Amino acid sequence: MRFTRVKGVHDIYEPEVQLYQKVEEISREVFRVYGFKEIRLPIIEYTELFQRSIGSTTDIVEKEMYTFNDRAGRSITLRPEGTAGAVRAYIENGFYALPSPQKFYYMGPMFRYERPQAGRYRQFHQIGVEAFGVAEPIMDAEVILLLRHLLYELGFNKLQIELNSLGCPECRPFYRDKLLDFFSLKIKAFCSDCQRRFEKNPLRLLDCKVPQCIKAREDAPSILDSLCENCKAHFNRVISYLDYMGISFSVTPTLVRGLDYYTRTIFEIKSESLGGQNAIAAGGRYDNLVEEFGGPPTPAIGFAIGVERLVSLLKIEKAVELLPDCYIAFIGEEAERLSLRMGEGLRQKGFWIEIGTGGSLKSQLRKADRLKARYAIIIGEEEIKRSVIRWKRLSDGQEGECSEEEIEKIINSNQKSESKVRN
């Protein structure tokens, strides 16, 4: 019997897996300089956690969660997103008793049963951050700057940042009433899902991607006109900080998030290179979720990055290129032993080294070309007699001879095997 992958999931292997590794590597370093610490969250949680946080009328809870009963009859769900688990961990582990802010990041797979398409899978990967304990808008600006910095380090500098505010429990009910009045006059023009959600959560109609719904909600009231004075002042300060830092962005009153827990500032970063599904990262504030989960009142903000979409963009723009530093080709038994020793020595110094596995010199050099190694080192009987090694730079054919001690300098004169990341 021949087995195949489950629909909507994918194997990740060379060379694509190197892009995942590079994204993770750069992310860890950027998070470190901003003071975010890693937290490794469970892949499974009790279903109620997501029903309570995400919202019972969302697509995720209604249609997309992978939920099952364990042997004790408890309802378990594969995590569809990371924030709910992070909030649960923040409360359960008593992080609220530590000095604020408490800042975390996580990486790993998420699961949603949705239609597979370019850059979207049923098992996908997210990188997310969560910052707890600071209500001031300077934290909103810091998190957005962190996200921008990360994308810049990955080689992207032509991305669109969109901002909006969803208000707070004080002002959002007034906006809700405005939406009810507006949508009630044209509700039949919306899809069946929107009609069903209309009275329970009219904000969800602003997030629907069905073309008829997008057209029907044109000229809907802007939430910015309904913000209370505190929310308006908070949002204006976020904008002022980003202006001060020279960050390009747009205020998008129709921007909402697909999860119910968001309050005040929300944001999204997009790229035109990905077509229709062009959002790379999104996030915002969720100042009430910790308290709703039984913890103390705790403001919080975070974001999540879709790694599959990010990797797709890296491949499209060729922002990262990962290549071996050197391929060692040899002829003869003594040269084979020398290749092994030399290769191991260079690896200990951080170089990516591939060692030939025998065959003719011509076949080994063809393999070096296929691997796109930066350099080839050639060792044979003649080189051993004269105590030299031959090297060849494969990008332009330049070649020469040197001692074993000098080869590190030769390779370094090109570029070590760190990825080439565009500024």
Q: Which of 67-81, 153-167, 196-210 has the lowest average pLDDT? A: 196-210
Residue 17 has pLDDT above 70, yes or no: yes
Question: Half-sphere exposure (CA, 13 Å, Cβ side) for 12?
Answer: 17
pLDDT on residue 259:
66
Asked, as a colleague might, if the bond just before 101 is cis with ω within 30 of 0, I would say yes
pLDDT on residue 350:
86
Distance CA 350, CA 99 (A): 38
Backbone angles phi, psi at 262, to 5 degrees: -75, 145
Distance CA 368, CA 255 (A): 50
Q: What does pLDDT average to over the chain?
A: 87
| Angle at alpha carbon of residue 348, lines to 344 and 354, rounded to 5° | 45
Distance CA 198, CA 256 (A): 15
Residue 422 has pLDDT above 50, yes or no: no
pLDDT on residue 132:
98
What would the CATH number be for the domain defined by 16-171+227-317?
3.30.930.10
User: Looking at this protein, which amino acid is placed at residue 409?
Assistant: K
Residue 63 has pLDDT above 90, yes or no: no
322: which 2 tokens?
A: 């990962």
Three-class SS string for the chain? CCCCCCCCCCCCCCCHHHHHHHHHHHHHHHHHHCCCEECCCCCEEEHHHHHHHHCCCCHHHHHHCCEEECCCCCEEEECCCCHHHHHHHHHHCCHHHCCCCEEEEEEEEEECCCCCECCECCEEEEEEEEEECCCCHHHHHHHHHHHHHHHHHCCCCCCEEEEEECCCCCCHHHHHHHHHHHHHCCHHHCCHHHHHHCCCCHHHHHHCCCHHHHHHCCCCCCHHHCCCHHHHHHHHHHHHHHHHCCCCCEECCCCCCCCCCCEEEEEEEECHHHCCCCEEEEEEECCCHHHHCCCCCCCEEEEEEEHHHHHHHHHHHCCCCCCCCEEEEECCHHHHHHHHHHHHHHHHCCCCEEECCCCCHHHHHHHHHHHCCCEEEEECHHHHHHCCEEEEECCCCCEEEECHHHHHHHHHCCCCCCCCCCC
244 vs 64 pLDDT, higher one: 244
- Summarised one tens digit per residue, pLDDT across range 229-272 is 999 999 999 999 999 999 999 999 888 876 678 899 999 998 76
381-410 burial, b for 16+ CB within 10 Å, e for fewer?
eebbeeebbbbbbbeeeeeeeeebeebeeb
Band the pLDDT of 286: cuts 50, 70, 90. very high
CATH 3.30.930.10 placement within the chain? 16-171+227-317
Distance CA 30, CA 28 (A): 6
What would the CATH number be for the domain defined by 326-412?
3.40.50.800
Q: Maximum Cα–Cα distance for the chain, whole Å?
A: 91
Whole-prediction pTM value?
0.81
- Summarised one tens digit per residue, pLDDT across range 358-405 is 788 889 989 999 888 999 999 988 888 888 888 988 888 888 888 888
Rounded percentage of the chain residues whose pLDDT exceeds 90? 47
- Summarised one tens digit per residue, pLDDT across range 218-237 is 888 888 999 999 999 999 99
pLDDT on residue 305:
94
User: Looking at this protein, which amino acid is placed at residue 280?
Assistant: I
99-112 burial, b for 16+ CB within 10 Å, e for fewer?
eebbbbbbbeebbb
CATH 3.40.50.800 placement within the chain? 326-412
Distance CA 123, CA 107 (A): 13
- Summarised one tens digit per residue, pLDDT across range 302-343 is 999 999 988 888 887 665 567 889 999 998 888 898 899 989
pLDDT on residue 415:
53
Residue 416 has pLDDT above 70, yes or no: no
